[in-house]
C-alpha cells in the first residue's frame, strides 16, 4: 500500500525511486549491469564513487585490486553501503572532498550531480581527484524522462540542473574529452502504489492528489495491463581531466 509521503526520509525517497525502476524496467540489460560495462574497471585501478547511496552499484560491479572508496553526504547511506559492500567509506560533501589530488583512476557519480546546488563544483572535484589517464563516469536523466508520471500531477516536468542536454558543456569545462552513452529503457508499471511512492519522492502530493492519481493509474493498468512510462537516461564518460 501507499505510505504517507509526509513521513518519507531521504532514504525512503531513494528506495522508492530504485524500486520503481527495478520492478518495471523494460531494458534488456539492467541499469547497474550497463553501468558496470561502461565503467569497465581494470584489475589494478583505484576507484571513488561519489554519492554512492546504499551501495547498489556494487551488487553488479566487483571492486578492482586498487583502492575503492565510497562517498556520500548521508551517514545513513554510508553506513548501509559499508555494511553491504565491506568497502572503505567516507561521509563528505561532493563539492569539497577531503582527499588528495590525482589519486584515482576512476571516479563515478551515478545520478547524483543534479543534487548539488552547483554541479560544476562536483565536476571540478572529480577532475582534481583523477590521474592524468583517469576517467569520470557520471549518469543523469534527460528531457522527457518519466513524463507520463509527471503529467498525472498536472505540473510541468522537472529537468535537473545537470542533464543529458547540458551535461557535455558543463563537463567540457573540466575534461578534454566527453562522450555521451544513452541507455535504452522504459517502464511498464503494474502496481499503482509503487508509482505513487516514486512520485511522492520528489512531488508534494495532497490526499486528493493521491486518490486521483491512483485512480488514473489503476484504470489504465486494468484496461491495458500496464502503465507505460518513457525514460531518458544515460552516462557521460569523461577523459583528459583539466587540472
Evaluate whether residue 214 is within a structural domain.
no
206, part of any domain:
no
Q: What is the pTM of this model?
A: 0.91
> Could you say which DSSP state residue 154 is in?
T
- CA–CA gap between residue 49 and residue 85 (Å, rounded): 13
pLDDT digits (tens, 9 = 90+) for 171-223: 999 999 999 999 999 999 999 999 999 998 888 888 899 999 999 999 999 99
Residue 230 has pLDDT above 70, yes or no: yes
* Domain presence at residue 227: no
Instruction: Determine, yes or no, domain membership for 152.
Output: no
Residue 208 maps to a domain:
no
The CATH number of residue 25's host domain is 3.40.50.150
Task: Give burial (CB, 10 Å; 0-12/13-18/19+) of 129.
Answer: buried
Does 225 map to a domain? Answer: no
Is 149 within the bounds of a domain?
no
Each residue of 120-136: pLDDT tens digit? 999 999 999 999 999 99
For residue 179, give its domain range.
5-143+159-186+232-241
Q: How many domains is the chain partitioned into structurally?
A: 1
Q: Which residue has the higher pLDDT, 99 or 157?
A: 99
How would you label 88-118 residue by residue, b for 16+ Cβ within 10 Å and e otherwise? ebbebebbebeeeeeebbbbbbbbbbbebee
Amino acid at each position: 500500500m501507499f505510505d504517507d509521503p509526509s513521513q518519507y526520509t531521504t532514504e525512503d525517497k531513494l528506495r522508492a525511486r530504485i524500486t520503481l525502476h527495478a520492478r518495471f524496467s523494460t531494458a534488456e540489460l539492467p541499469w547497474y549491469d550497463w553501468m558496470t560495462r561502461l565503467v569497465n574497471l581494470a584489475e589494478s585501478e583505484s576507484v571513488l564513487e561519489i554519492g554512492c547511496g546504499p551501495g547498489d552499484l556494487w551488487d553488479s560491479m566487483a571492486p578492482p585490486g586498487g583502492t575503492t572508496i565510497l562517498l556520500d553526504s548521508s551517514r545513513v547511506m554510508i553506513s548501509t553501503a559499508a555494511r553491504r559492500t565491506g568497502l572503505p567509506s567516507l561521509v563528505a560533501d561532493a563539492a569539497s572532498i577531503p582527499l588528495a589530488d590525482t589519486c584515482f583512476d576512476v571516479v563515478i557519480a551515478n545520478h547524483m550531480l543534479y543534487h548539488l546546488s552547483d554541479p560544476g563544483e562536483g565536476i571540478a572535484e572529480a577532475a582534481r581527484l583523477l590521474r592524468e589517464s583517469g576517467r569520470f563516469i557520471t549518469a543523469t536523466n534527460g528531457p522527457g524522462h518519466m513524463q507520463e508520471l509527471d503529467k498525472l500531477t498536472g505540473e510541468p516536468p522537472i529537468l535537473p540542473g545537470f542533464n543529458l542536454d547540458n551535461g557535455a558543456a558543463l563537463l567540457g569545462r573540466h575534461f578534454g574529452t566527453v562522450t555521451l552513452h544513452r541507455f535504452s529503457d522504459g517502464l511498464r508499471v503494474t502496481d499503482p502504489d509503487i508509482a505513487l511512492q516514486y512520485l511522492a519522492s520528489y512531488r508534494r502530493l495532497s490526499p486528493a492528489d493521491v486518490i486521483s492519481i491512483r485512480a488514473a493509474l489503476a484504470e489504465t493498468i486494468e484496461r491495458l495491463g500496464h502503465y507505460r512510462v518513457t525514460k531518458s537516461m544515460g552516462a557521460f564518460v569523461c577523459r583528459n581531466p583539466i587540472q
